[in-house]
Structure 1
Amino acid sequence: MHTAPSREAAGAAPASTPAPTGLRERNRLRRTRRVERAALELALEHGLDATTVDSICDASDISARTFFNYFGSKESALLGAPPAPLTDAQVEVFLAGDGTVLEDLMTLLATTFLANEPDMEIWRMRRELFAREPVLHAAQLTRVADKKERVAATVAARLRAADPALSEEAALREGHLTHGIAMSAFQQLGREWTAADVASPDIAALVDDAISRVRRIVCPGA
């Protein structure tokens, strides 16, 4: 049986998954996904409590030391990399955008989503596990809360720049509403992606289509 190093007790944060640009990065991404896939398969088959770091290591043929080079705990492997924070450059581009706020926000969120080349099967298994394990789903919602607040504040800043008479409170409410609409569209996109008939549906094309559909709904005839 593998012996977990003390880092597990420390609750180390899961490694973020940057956009792969070189051989080393791609190898790391492949290994990360192999471990995530093994963890999800075990949790779906045996349950969250019965899934351990040892069993994940055995299933993905790695040592515990290697596991903790990538993840801080079994929950980290099940949840995957945390959402990347918006960069200052991304915020600047959004604030200077001249499209509709909702469409520009969807484009911004799509850029961050596609940067990590999402894996459909991992996405599907994770959605299924969240439906079975409310505690794990709650942990995911907690992880994304900070990014949600920053996105809403960024939208609010753009709205107030366009309409200085808009109060900070009202702008923030509209920022949260805009973010909620965008995320609902992406949730629908995720359902369509995982239900696609083809083996490897083009997620980028689905994102473009989702943005186009939202545009038709929000701005009919535009």
Structure 2
Amino acid sequence: MRQVEGGLRERKKLQTREALAGAALRLALERGPDHVTVEEIAEAADVSVRTFFNYFPHKEHAILGRNPEDLERALERIRTAPEDQSPLTTMHLIISDVLHGLLSDGELSRRGELIMGSPSLLYHLMLLSLDDERQLSAALAERIGDRLRASLIVSAAGTACRVCVELHKDTPDSSPADLVDAAFELLAQGMDPDYQKGRS
């Protein structure tokens, strides 16, 4: 019985988070992110302001659709990855999951344009991304025993995702998943095999 109740509670929490994020994005698209308040987002989602702050610390996080559980799932995937799975492969799977989530909400392009046009949203996204990378790098370093390599792999994976989302915006006929696959192939093969240290 407790498992059923726990499952129901988790579903309700997810529904509330999605309602708040959806309301925040809708209002921000209609009015611009600087002209939307927490009170308006809470009212549009039919919850109290107190409930809003149970899910998001700032309105920007709600507009970005930030879900801390996404990071927890990524960290768990790193910790439980098979021993023979390469770290870049693990990051590819994580990025593919993130991309799938972005595409499934149907708002990838509009949210991306909104973020690029808002210094405040860009700032909060940068802070969140840096914190995500720090935690993912620490988890991967613990797994492979190499902090530099772990940090570079995580940073490169995040950059690949951002670049592919940007390219998809400019060429909407392209598949984001295909772009990500191609980007990770380049990372795996080495983007510049002719690199020569210290040669001018």
Shorter-normalised TM-score: what interval?
A: 0.5 to 0.7
Partner of 2:196: none
Kept in 2: contact 1:35–1:57 (CA 8 A): yes
Q: Distance in 2 between matches of 1:148 and 1:103?
A: 16
Decide which structure has greater helix share: 2
Output the amino acid matched with 1:181: A
For structure 2, the residue ranges without an aligned partner over 5 or more in a row are 1-5, 191-200
Does the alignment pair 1:84 with 2:71? Answer: yes
Does the alignment pair 1:131 with 2:106? Answer: no
What's the CA shift for 1:77? Answer: 1.8
Q: Percent identity?
A: 28
The one of the two structures with greater contact order (alpha-carbon pairs below 8 A, sep at least 6) is: 1
Partner of 1:93: 80
For the aligned residue pairs, the C-alpha RMSD in angstroms reads: 3.8
| More displaced 10-residue stretch of structure 1: 60-69 or 141-150 | 60-69
Output the amino acid matched with 1:36: A
Output the amino acid matched with 2:158: M
Partner of 2:90: 104
Going from structure 1 to structure 2, the CA distance change for 1:159 and 1:84 (only over 3 Å counts) comes to closer
Structure 1 residues 41-120: aligned runs within 5 Å: 41-79=26-64, 80-82=66-68, 83-85=70-72, 90-94=77-81, 96-110=82-96, 113=98, 119-120=104-105
Q: Distance in 1 between matches of 2:164 and 2:111?
A: 15
Q: TM-score, normalised by structure 2?
A: 0.65
Structure 1 residues 1-222: aligned runs within 5 Å: 22-79=7-64, 80-82=66-68, 83-85=70-72, 90-94=77-81, 96-110=82-96, 113=98, 119-160=104-145, 171-188=146-163, 190=165, 192=168, 206=177, 212-214=181-183, 216-217=185-186, 218-219=188-189
Partner of 1:164: none
Kept in 1: contact 2:77–2:90 (CA 8 A): no
Going from structure 1 to structure 2, the CA distance change for 1:180 and 1:56 (only over 3 Å counts) comes to same
| More displaced 10-residue stretch of structure 1: 138-147 or 78-87 | 78-87
Partner of 2:197: none
Q: Distance in 2 between matches of 1:215 and 1:48?
A: 33
Going from structure 1 to structure 2, the CA distance change for 1:149 and 1:45 (only over 3 Å counts) comes to same
What's the CA shift for 1:51? Answer: 0.7
Going from structure 1 to structure 2, the CA distance change for 1:64 and 1:155 (only over 3 Å counts) comes to closer
What's the CA shift for 1:52? Answer: 0.9
Q: Distance in 1 between matches of 2:164 and 2:7?
A: 29
Kept in 1: contact 2:75–2:139 (CA 8 A): no
SS at match of 2:83: coil
SS at match of 1:97: coil
Q: Distance in 2 between matches of 1:125 and 1:70?
A: 23
Kept in 2: contact 1:97–1:104 (CA 8 A): no
Q: Distance in 2 between matches of 1:152 and 1:26?
A: 30
Q: Distance in 2 between matches of 1:137 and 1:148?
A: 16
For structure 1, the residue ranges without an aligned partner over 5 or more in a row are 1-20, 161-170
Q: TM-score, normalised by structure 1?
A: 0.60
